[in-house]
Structure 1
Amino acid sequence: MKGFEIVLDQTDLQIIDELSQNSRITMKELGQKIHLSGPATSARVLKLEEQGIIEEYTILVNPLKMGYSVHAMISIYTKDTHHQPYLFFLKNYPSYVLNNYKISGDSCYLLECRFPSNKELDSFLTELNEHVNYQLSIVINK
Structure 2
Amino acid sequence: MPKEIKQLDETACKILEILERDARISISELASRIGLSAPSTTERVRKLEQDGIITGFTVEINPKALGYILEAIVRVKPSPGNLHVVEQLILNEPRFTSCDKVTGEDCFVTRIYLKDVSELDDLLDPLHEKAMTNTSIVKASPIKNRMVPLR
Q: For the superposition of Structure 1 and Structure 2, which TM-score range results when normalised by the shorter chain?
A: over 0.9
How big is the alpha-carbon RMSD for the aligned residues of Structure 1 and Structure 2? 1.5
2:113 aligned with 1:84: no
State percent identity of aligned pairs.
30
- Partners of 1:129 and 1:67 lie apart in 2 by 26
Matched, 1:124 2:131: no
Query: Would you say 1:135 and 2:134 are equivalent positions?
Result: yes
User: Could you list the per-position Cα deviations for residues 70-95 of structure 1 after superposition, in whole angstroms to 9, with x for gaps in the alignment?
Assistant: 1010111110144221122123321x
What is the aligned length? 141
User: Are 1:39 and 2:39 matched, yes or no?
Assistant: yes
Structure 1 residue runs without a partner (length 5+): none
Asked if 1 retains the 8 angstrom alpha-carbon contact of 2:82 and 2:131, the reply is no
Shift in Å, 1:7: 1.5
TM-score of the two chains, using structure 1 as the length reference: 0.92
Taking the aligned partners of 1:92 and 1:82, their CA distance within structure 2 comes to 15
**Unaligned runs of at least 5 residues, structure 2:** 142-151
Q: Which moved more, 1:37-46 or 1:117-126?
A: 117-126
SS at match of 1:112: strand
Q: Distance in 2 between matches of 1:21 and 1:103?
A: 29
Q: Match of 1:113? A: 112
Question: Can you list the C-alpha shifts for 1:57-112, whole angstroms capped at 9, x where unaligned?
Answer: 11111111111111010111110144221122123321x11111011122111011
1:6 CA drift (Å): 1.2
Please name the residue that 2:58 is paired with: 58
112-121 or 84-93, which moves further after superposition? 84-93
SS in structure 2 of the partner of residue 65 of structure 1? helix
